[in-house]
């Protein structure tokens, strides 16, 4: 059974700092991996989608990497801003099955 | 291009009642998935509809049921509500059912509170 773990559960950083969020999964047989942002009480906003054949994806200040063989992904946020404060969720698509999510990392960026 | 929409935004129900949540999929998408997100947890898959047929179900009891309409919009019905059903219910649309690894696009969610 696929399980997704995100570390740390919560993170507080000063504005301007670069940071890394970690995601690990137990079964490397995945179609793709997605990183989402969730503001309190709101839905999910897709940030980056990495297909199983890719190693990384970039969007603006965000960079996500995927190491399928070791079951790991990282989300790198450069020059963090208070507006980046949210919960970041990692989810994998293990073949012909729905998304399996981690519990998320709650990020606070302090001005 | 219209995104995924859900209604209502918030809902308060009493234990034992029934509730219907609605979702309109993104234009061109034929697949709708429903997820339940309890406070502090990641979303859990309830079921998925592809071209009006259920084609995948998570570990949820039969009192959770759904429909998909010819325009690919969808409903989630929950009977005999329990306190533990209190959660954020998320709808996601995509192409191609469970196969193919298509990207899912999520709606804003419906917050259900059962008292």
Distance from the B65 Cα atom to the nearest Cα atom in chain A, whole angstroms: 17
Residue A46's closest chain B neighbor by CA?
B105
Q: Give the whole-number percent of chain A exceeding pLDDT 70.
A: 99
Give the pLDDT mean for A83-96: 91
- Quote the longest CA-to-CA distance of chain A: 43
**Measured distance CA(A8)–CA(B57) in Å, rounded:** 30
- Report residue A1's pLDDT band, with 50, 70 and 90 as the boundaries: confident
| Predicted confidence (pLDDT) at residue B97 exceeds the cutoff of 70 | no
Instruction: Give the separation between CA A82 and CA A74, rounded to whole angstroms.
Output: 20
pLDDT at res. B1: 55
The arithmetic mean of pLDDT across residues B79-83, rounded, is 98
Contact B42 A101 (CB under 8 A): yes
Pick the range with the lowest mean pLDDT from A100-109, B24-33, B100-109: B100-109
The residue-averaged pLDDT of A24-47 equals: 93
- For range B33-55, the mean pLDDT: 93
3-state secondary structure A27-77: CCCCCEEEEEEECCCCCEEEEEEEECCCCEEEECCEEEEEECCCCEEEEEE
pLDDT in the model for residue B14: 98
To the nearest whole Å, the CA of B40 is away from the closest chain A CA by 7
Given CB atoms, is A40 within the 8 Å cutoff of chain B?
no
Nearest chain B CA: its distance from A40 CA (Å)? 10
Where residue B100 falls among pLDDT bands split at 50, 70, 90?
low
* The pLDDT of residue A86: 97
Partner-chain residue, chosen from B45, B107, B109, that has the shortest CB–CB distance to A99: B45
Query: pLDDT by residue (tens digit) across B57-79?
Result: 999 999 999 999 998 999 999 99
Confidence class for position B99, pLDDT limits 50, 70, 90 = low
pLDDT of A106 over the 70 cut: yes
How many alpha carbons lie under 13 Å from residue B111 in its C-beta half-sphere?
A: 7
Query: Looking at residues B69-95, what average pLDDT do you find?
Result: 95
Q: Which of B7, B35, B99, B101 to mutate to test the interface with A (most CBs of A within 10 A)?
A: B101
């Amino acid at each position: 059974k696929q399980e997704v773990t995100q570390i740390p559960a919560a993170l507080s950083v000063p504005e301007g700092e670069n940071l890394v969020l970690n995601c690990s999964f137990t079964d490397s047989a995945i179609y793709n991996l997605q990183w989402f942002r969730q503001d309190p009480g709101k839905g999910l906003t897709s940030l980056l989608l990495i297909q199983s054949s890719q190693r990384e994806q970039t969007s603006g200040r965000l960079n996500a990497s995927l190491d399928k063989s070791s079951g790991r992904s990282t989300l790198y946020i450069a020059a963090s801003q208070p507006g980046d404060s949210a919960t970041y969720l990692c989810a994998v698509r293990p073949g012909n099955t729905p998304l399996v999510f981690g519990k998320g990392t709650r990020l606070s960026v302090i001005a | 291009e219209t995104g995924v929409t859900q209604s209502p935004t918030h809902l308060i129900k009493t234990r034992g009642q029934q509730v219907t949540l609605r979702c309109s999929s993104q234009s061109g998408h034929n697949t709708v998935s429903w997820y339940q997100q309890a406070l502090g947890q990641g979303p859990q898959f309830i079921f998925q509809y592809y071209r009006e047929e259920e084609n995948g179900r998570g570990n949820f009891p039969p009192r959770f049921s759904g429909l998909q309409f010819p325009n690919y919009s969808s409903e989630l019905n929950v009977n005999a509500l329990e306190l533990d059903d209190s959660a954020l219910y998320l709808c996601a649309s995509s192409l191609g059912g469970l196969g193919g690894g298509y990207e899912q696009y999520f709606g804003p969610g419906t917050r259900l509170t059962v008292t």
